[in-house]
Structure 1
């Protein structure tokens, strides 16, 4: 009897969980800034800086960066909007038993932001930061792949094993000088820069992934030409970067999700002395996830025709690839003006998707979440002020995926956002979101790691040369052949059948193997 074995190295994701952290603190208005009359918009960006596992806990630290847009309490000075920048540090621990040999990756997002204006110089902030935690472990198996011999039958089974190969994060600094169009007024003060990255094209090299994307920037600024006005200018910056990703090769599939961690922007003069240059430096985080599907054939079962076979087994957890989806979808919101408020024009719109649940149920993949949009607009009256409308809508993206016991791994991001005035009472927001989803089947199997032929006391001449058998529900040719010490081929030949499964009560002839 000849036994062949093969080493299989797997990267298992043993931990996938979400945790929320409450981050609180006060923002004090600097002396150079005017008092706050009204908060129009409070934006928060959560960034993780480090994670460390010790003593059964994962310790995570990071920062929350705030951008506050407010109406100053300084009538007669002309400027109708001002902005504040601030940041808080945070740290948290998450209970994860038996995680000593895991490699952890943590990503963060803003789940909720709230604020209270304590007084005109002090703002109390509360942010719920959502942490997504993945923990990976390397495992090796040596299953029996085949057993051969004159007296041995071996059943092989093929698996399409899904293996995570890399989950790496790399920070990219993108710098550029951006020009304000000639027909727009000079910059007096930059209030806020909204930035997001789209694209996410990947080119795989050995141990590296080249990522390409496009940064979208919306710069809100004040201009002092012919009285103070509030202006918006848009730019795009393409960028390319190489991310180190150990273990990645041409057999892998890779995807990248970009998130903007920080934006630094300042106004500069051009060669004519006009303040029409924006010096921008954007810190972008690129999270590269690579995987591959490997076809492995192992010995699923074996037996000896004459005698018995003892097998050694080990449990092996598998993720089998089922399907994937990389697409875009558009979510449309209707933004209605408050009572007695009319809209003159839209100034700017930003949006954030919050992914709350991914699951496979009733034959469909679901991605459920909430789209939160922030619409800046001006009132339709002579001294109309700038207002902000916050709108939340739930979405449920679906894709038919047949099968049972399936799980999903999904990522979601904003590709584009736009707003249109429909009337003085209503605006329409359209957010195009990109998604990447993989559907997997998680199962635990017993793999054969060794087998030994064992002699029995039963004499060969005592075995009947022919058995008449009435099948039961669930019977297979393999099960029947193994039970009566013959081969699948002999049963098929004796009965003129090719099917592998039977309905209950079918009579078949089982000849003895020679």
Structure 2
């Protein structure tokens, strides 16, 4: 006969993929008729805009567009010119457990971008992408907490409590931001807008009721050309605040929110070199996690009938640490000559690798830093150097760490002896979990046709408690109950001292 069990349904998400996918795209582009011939390419920078992400059977697919801007010196004309090239991309990640019902969080970035001049009217553009991908599968499990009518069948049961850290909600929201911007009085009037880049950071996220409220800001940096041909940058802070619907989370839940670009459009107002219009398409992706306490039936036996228990193994996670750690990258980039001015500088963040020595986990982000400068001969030059950002964390060896890395502010660059000095902040956003397997009972059957016979057992047994032995284990091995042993030995609790002699009464 199958016994009825108390079951609690546990809903959440399992992380079935957490990886970084790298992809390279190339495109031959023709210089537009309205633009002069290219004499020399000075700089190439890309902005990645995510258009879609889809979970399929066994894989996840990301798609979007890289908007690459080439800055070049024209043949037979003065002043820096720009040319924009759009490169569509598609990248995939495979895992057997992925199904269309999975939720996907993706953060694509540009690792590097360059271009080669094929002829004065044609260029070959290459961009390298790195996309952080997390895939969450809905998980609905039933946890057995105990036997409903245990007394009539003589069932003794052991239920234990476990704390587990679970992803309870994965949600997203698209939103837009638009504003008119004015150059400060300390900046010259712009003759042309050459490039724009956005640094996006979500600084605060909180669950209130069934709403997730998150706030952050976009630091927008513009590279402009003045009327005299000189280049200058301008920065603007664009704060945002949004509300997202979430479910199944308490107000103490931890919220990880990633905000990425789906579109970036910045234009200079016609006839006014001090006014700009900006429009941002943004996608907020949120994973909400919280600690839950589960009561699980882990063992059972009957003093009246033979009992068979079916077991199921559950993986429970514990939060070891989470947060953000910001490090400052400072480096002298040698140029081999004197510089008179640094016009622009930016950093591209590549994959993050991990290494461990005992409890020390080291996160290393690969960076490509590019600077556009003017040498003492008056010519424009471009310098790109690979750098690293290093973050150390103290975490137990058995923990697994998931990390997002991004620049939080524009790169500061200045001429220095022998080259140029760059300095900028890099943020490591991390969550470290440890996992353990717990076996719980998922079903119980008893055989009422063959009742247990206790007549041939001794009425009393003298038994010494082994080291770390539980009263439950002793009672189960002799077919009696922990309550009977406590009563027979006048114990005050169910944790007898190691080495103590106990009277084990026969079950009547």
Give the TM-score normalised by structure 1. Answer: 0.85
In structure 2, the partner of 1:154 is 157
Contact 1:346–1:419 (CA<8 Å) still a contact in 2? no
**SS across alignment from 1:459:** coil
Q: Of residues 417, 429, 446 in structure 2, which corresponds to 1:424? A: 417
Comparing 279-288 and 1-10, the one that deviates more? 1-10
Question: Is the counterpart of residue 214 in structure 1 residue 217 in structure 2?
Answer: yes
Judge which range, 298-307 or 82-91, deviates more.
298-307
Question: Residues 153 and 422 (structure 1 numbering): CA distance in 2 closer, same or farther, change over 3 Å?
Answer: farther
Structure 1, unmatched stretches of 5+, are none
Structure 1 residue 221 displacement after superposition: 0.8
**1:401 partnered with 2:402:** no
Within a 5 Å distance, the mapping from 1:279-298 to structure 2 comes to 279-298=277-296
The residue matched to 2:473 in structure 1 has which SS?
helix
Distance 2:14 2:322 in 1: 22
1:175 corresponds in structure 2 to: 178
| CA offset digits 1:37-87 (Å, max 9, x no partner) | 33232222333323445564444432222122223333xx431x2222111
Greater Cα offset, 292-301 or 194-203: 194-203
SS in 2 for 1:158: strand
Offset of 1:248 from its aligned partner? 5.0
Would you say the 8 A contact 2:72–2:81 is kept in 1?
yes
CA distance in 1, matches of 2:84, 2:506: 83
Q: Deviations over 1:347-395 (max 9, x none)?
A: 332223223235776224443321222223332x2x4233232222233
Quote the residue 2:323 is aligned against.
Answer: 326
Q: Could you tell me how far apart the structure 2 residues matched to 1:385 and 1:78 are?
A: 12
Q: How does 1:480-491 map to 2 (within 5 A)?
A: 480-488=474-482
| Residues 358 and 409 in structure 1, CA contact (< 8 A), matched pair in contact too | no
* Residue 333 of structure 2 corresponds to residue 336 of structure 1: yes
| Partner residue in 2 for 1:229 | 230
Contact 2:21–2:91, Cα closer than 8 Å, also in 1: no
Distance 2:244 2:12 in 1: 22
| Structure 2 match to 1:241 | 242
8 A Cα contact 2:201 2:217, kept in partner: yes
Distance verdict in 2 for CA 1:137–1:469, change over 3 Å: same
2:129 corresponds to which residue? 129
In 1, are the aligned partners of 2:20 and 2:351 still within 8 Å (CA)?
no
RMSD: 3.3
Does 1:184 find its partner at 2:204? no
Please list every run of 5 or more consecutive structure 2 residues that lacks an aligned counterpart in the other structure. Answer: none
- For the structure 1 residues 187 and 292, does the alpha-carbon distance in structure 2 shift closer, same or farther, using more than 3 Å as the test? same
In the alignment, what sits opposite 2:371?
Answer: 375
Q: In the aligned structure 2, how far is the partner of 1:44 from the partner of 1:329?
A: 24
Instruction: Give the secondary-structure state (helix, strand or coil) at the position aligned to 2:409.
Output: strand
The C-alpha deviation readout for 1:167-194, integer Å capped at 9, x for no partner, is: 3333332211111122432110011112
What do the CA deviations read for 1:191-215 (whole angstroms, capped 9, x no partner)?
A: 1112112243223344442322111
When residues 94 and 446 of structure 1 are mapped into structure 2, their CA distance, relative to the original with a 3 A threshold, is same
In the alignment of these two chains, the number of paired residues is 498
Partner of 2:14: 12
Find the aligned partners of 1:302 and 1:52 in 2 and give their Cα distance: 45
Distance of aligned partners of 1:185 and 1:449 in 2 relative to their CA distance in 1, 3 Å threshold: same
Q: Supply the distance in 2 between the matched residues of 1:359 and 1:167 (Cα, whole angstroms).
A: 29
From the superposition, tell whether residues 357 and 476 of structure 1 become closer, same or farther in structure 2 (CA, over 3 Å).
Answer: farther
Contact 1:345 1:421 in 2 (8 A): yes
In structure 2, C-alpha distance between the alignment counterparts of 1:343 and 1:502, rounded to whole Å: 79
Asked if 2 retains the 8 angstrom alpha-carbon contact of 1:335 and 1:389, the reply is no
SS of the aligned residue for 1:165 comes to strand
- Alignment partner for residue 67 of structure 2, among 59, 65, 68? 65
Change in Cα spacing, 1:345 to 1:205, as seen in structure 2 (3 Å) is same
- Rounded to whole Å, the distance in 2 between the matches of 1:366 and 1:481 is 49
Equivalences for residues 338-357 of structure 1 within 5 A: 338-339=335-336, 341-357=337-353
2:269 aligned partner? 268
**Native 8 Å contact 1:329 1:432 kept in 2:** yes
Name the CA distance, whole Å, in 1 between partners of 2:402 and 2:435: 12
**CA distance in 2 between partners of 1:158 and 1:139 (Å):** 20
Structure 2 distance, partners of 1:92, 1:421, is 37
Q: What's 1:86 paired with?
A: 85
Q: Is the 8 A contact 2:68 2:84 kept in 1?
A: yes
Distance 1:458 1:328, change over 3 A: closer
**1:385 aligned partner:** 379
TM-score by length of 2: 0.86
Report if aligned partners of 1:414, 1:434 keep a CA contact under 8 Å in 2.
yes
Question: Structure 1 residues 236, 104: closer, same or farther in 2, change over 3 A?
Answer: same
> 1:156·1:299 contact (CA, 8 Å) conserved in 2?
yes
- SS of the residue corresponding to residue 416 of structure 1 reads coil
Q: Is the 8 A contact 2:54 2:104 kept in 1?
A: no
SS at match of 1:250: coil
Asked if structure 2 preserves the Cα contact closer than 8 Å seen for 1:335 and 1:391, the reply is no
Partner of 1:436: 429
Is residue 110 from structure 1 mapped to residue 110 from structure 2 by the alignment? Answer: yes
489-498 or 138-147, larger mean C-alpha shift: 489-498
